[in-house]
């Protein structure tokens, strides 16, 4: 079976979800990524990446508790599936192997 593809931006969002653990809901993911990437992101881009990955089976989600700050609306907490963790690991391995094979940088 063909592996479901993971885009570059999707990979970043997925890793952020893993990093944030129980805090991984829309706004927090956006804030964290904006800090790390040092650029402004739209809610739309984050949300579409989340929904797409949920459809592909990289993420699961459930409603968290409501808070006063959000006008009484509940957060949705995202969690990476084991499959997602495996895919992330594979991608990292492929990358580090490629890094090791790159002559210019390896000799430095």
Partner 1 sequence: MSKTNKGTSPPSWSLKLLRFFLKSNYLEEIEGDLEEIYDDNLNQYSIKKARKLYNREVIKLIRPILTKGMSSSEKLNAYDTLKHNLKVSIRILKRNWLYSAISVAGLSIAIACFIHLMTFVKNESSYDTLIPEADQIGKIGLNKHYPDYSSITKSIPHSLADALKSDIPEITETATYSGPFRGMLLSYTSDNSGSQNFHEDVIAADGNFLSFFGIKMILGSSENALKDPRSMVLTNSMAQKYFGQQNPIGKSLKMARDEFKITGVCQDLPDNSHLSFGFLMSINTIDRFNQTNYTRPDVSCYIKLQVGTSIVSLEEKINKSAKNHAAPEIEKQNGISWSEYQNAGNGFDLFLVPLTSVYLHPDNLGGMKPGGSQFSNRVMVFVACLIFLLASVNFINLSTARTNARAKEIGTKKILGSYKTQLVSQVLTETFMVVFSSVTLSLLLVYLTQHSFNNLSGKTQTFTLDLPTIIYLFSFVAAMTLITGLWPAILISRLKPLNTIKGQFSSGRKGSLLRNSLVISQFSIGIVLVLSMFVVKDQLRFMINKDLGYDKEQLLILTGDFHMDPLFVNSFIGELESMPEVNSVAGTLSMPGLGIFWEENFKRQNSNDIVNLKSMKVGDLFSEVMGLSLQEGRFFETDSWDSTSVLLNESAVKALNMDQPIGKSLVELRADGTPMTFKIIGVIKDFNYDALYNQISPLVIKSNETIFNRSSKIVARLNAGVSLSKLISKVNSKWDKMRPTDPFMFKFADEVAASYYKKEVRLLSVFKVFSILSLVLACMGLFGLSAHNASLKMKEVGIRKVIGAGFSDIIILLSKKITWMVILSFIITVPIAWTALETWWLQGFAYRISIGVRPILITLSIVLGLTWITILFHTVRTALTNPINYLRND
Q: Is 48 in the site for partner 1 (CB under 8 A)?
A: yes
Q: Is 45 in the site for partner 1 (CB under 8 A)?
A: yes
Q: Is 103 in the site for partner 1 (CB under 8 A)?
A: no
Q: Is 4 in the site for partner 1 (CB under 8 A)?
A: no
x/- binding map, residues 53-82, to partner 1, per CB under 8 A?
--x-------x-----xxxxxxxx------
Beta strands in the chain (DSSP E): 59-66, 74-80
* DSSP letter (8 states) at residue 39: S
Distance of CA 89 to CAs 21, 36, 41, 67, 82, Å?
Answer: 17, 20, 26, 35, 11
> Which residues of this chain interact with partner 1, rule CB under 8 A?
25-27, 30, 42-45, 47-48, 51-52, 55, 63, 69-76
């Amino acid at each position: 079976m063909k592996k479901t593809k993971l885009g570059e931006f999707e990979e970043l969002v997925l890793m952020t979800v893993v990093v944030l653990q129980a805090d991984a809901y829309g706004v927090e993911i956006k804030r964290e990524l904006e800090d790390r990437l040092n650029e402004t992101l739209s809610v739309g881009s984050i949300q579409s990446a989340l929904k797409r990955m949920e459809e592909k089976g990289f993420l699961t989600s459930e409603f968290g508790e409501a808070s006063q700050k959000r006008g009484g609306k509940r957060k949705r907490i995202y969690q990476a599936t084991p499959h997602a963790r495996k895919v992330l690991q594979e991608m990292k391995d492929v990358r580090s192997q490629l890094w090791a094979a790159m002559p210019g940088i390896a000799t430095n």
